[in-house]
Amino acid sequence: MSQYNREEIQIYSVDSNDKSTENLALIMKELIRSSGYKIEDIIILCIGSDRSVGDSLGPLVGTMLKEHKVPYQVYGTLETPVHAFNLKDTLKDIKKQFKKTLIFSIDACLGEQNQVGHVLFKEGPLVPGKALKKVLPEVGDYHFSGVVNYIDPLPTMQFLNDTRLYTVMNLAKKIVTIIVQSANE
């Protein structure tokens, strides 16, 4: 789980209740098209754990993308999550299997109270584990962050346990819709 940082350059933000995902899907489609990468070299790296509601966004998105049979390579599902303990090994496997990749990473994040339920799409790598003060490798050329909860004086781990599944599911559906729409011709 990362932490939303105001200093980061935000490319696009959409509320999880907002019905318009077409613009973000078009942006993603254009980024892929203009990158010159083959479709089989596009990777969606979904980070998180299914053992905590607040951190389950990535594995939920990965599972839903597999169910939609998107043409991209998907890493991180409920069955085989990519999390803090296996992220480095997963990145090594990707480097062995692919010469050049365009990676879109996905993770849950914490933000401010008024940001809960927003999907953030940004250029540059995701810094997973930042909200929990974990030191993990940065991943992705672009990334989606779903703001699942907000920062409060309570210990950060408490936010993961107090996160509503409803919020996480809405964020996952929104991100999946965007990615599926970006893959359609």
The predicted structure's pLDDT at residue 153: 64
Domains of the chain: 2-183 (3.40.50)
Query: Which pTM value belongs to this model?
Result: 0.88
CA distances from 94 to 43, 67, 98, 130, 141 (A): 9, 21, 6, 22, 14
Structure tokens given for 24 = 């973000």
Q: Please return the burial class of 50, using the count of CB atoms within 10 Å of its CB with bins 0-12, 13-18 and 19+.
A: middle
Task: Flag residues of the chain having pLDDT under 70.
Answer: 1-11, 16-20, 130-133, 153-161, 185
Over the stretch 110-143, which tens digit does the pLDDT of each residue have?
A: 888 889 999 999 999 998 876 666 778 899 999 9
